[in-house]
A and B are shown apart, each in its own frame.
Chain A
Amino acid sequence: MHESPIINLAGQEIDLSIVLMLIVTCAIVFLIARLATRNLSVENPGKMQNFLEWVVEFVQGLISSTMDLKKGKPFLSLGMTLIMFIFVGNMLGLPFSIVTEYHDASKAHIFGHELVTVTEKLHTEEAAHPGEEAEIGVAWWKSPTADPAVALGLAGLIFVMVHFLGLTRNTKGYLKHYFQPFWFFFPINLIEQFSKLLTHGMRLFGNIFAGEVLISVLVQLGSSGPIGTVASIPFLVIWQGFSIFVGSIQAFVFTILTFVYISQAIDTHEEH
Chain B
Amino acid sequence: MSFSIPSLVLALIAFLILYFLLNKYAFGPLFSVMEKRRELVLQQINEASQTREQAVAYVEEQKQALQDARKEAYDIIEQSRQTSSKQTEQLLEQAKAEAARIKEEAVRDIQSEKNKAVEALRSELGSASVKIASKLLEKEVSSDAAQEELVDQYLKEVGGRS
**Residue in A42, A76, A85, A148 whose CB lies within 8 Å of B1:** A148
* Cβ-based interface call for B34 (8 A): yes
Stretch at the interface among B4-12, B90-98, B126-134: B4-12
* Cross-chain contact of A77 among B8, B16, B23, B36 (Cβ < 8 A): B23
A34 to B33, CA, bound (A): 14
Nearest residue (CB) in A for B2 is A4
Does B8 contact A156, Cβ atoms closer than 8 Å? yes
> Chain B: how many interface residues by the 8 Å CB criterion?
33
Asked whether any CB of chain B lies closer than 8 Å to the CB of A99, the reply is no
Please, how many angstroms separate the alpha-carbon atoms of A84 and B27 in the complex? 12
In the assembled complex, the CB of A54 is this many whole angstroms from the nearest CB of chain B, namely 11
Output the nearest chain A residue to B9 by Cβ-Cβ distance: A153
Do residues A42 and B5 form an inter-chain contact, with CB atoms below 8 A?
A: no
Question: Which residues on the A side are within 8 Å of B26 (C-beta)?
Answer: 30, 33-34, 36-37, 52
> Is A6's CB under 8 angstroms from B4's CB?
yes
Q: Does A15 contact B (CB under 8 A)?
A: yes
Contact A85 B18 (CB under 8 A): yes
Determine whether the beta carbon of B4 is less than 8 Å from that of A76: no
The 8 A CB mask of A14-42 against B (1 = contact, 0 = none) is 11001100110110011001101100111
Using CB atoms, name the residue of chain A closest to B40. A42
Interface contact tally, CB-CB below 8 A: 122
Kindly state whether residue A209 has any CB partner on chain B within 8 Å. yes
Complex contacts, B23 vs chain A, CB 8 Å: 77, 81
Residues of A within 8 A of B (CB-CB), count = 46
- Give A25 to B36 CA distance when docked, in angstroms: 31
Which listed residue (B3, B22, B28, B30) contacts A149, Cβ 8 A?
B3
A154 within 8 A of B: yes
CB distance from A161 to the nearest CB of B (A): 11
Contacts of A156 in B (CB 8 A): 8, 12
Q: Which of B1-58 contact A (CB under 8 A)?
A: 1-12, 14-19, 21-23, 25-31, 33-34, 36-37, 40
Interface residues of B (CB under 8 A from A): 1-12, 14-19, 21-23, 25-31, 33-34, 36-37, 40
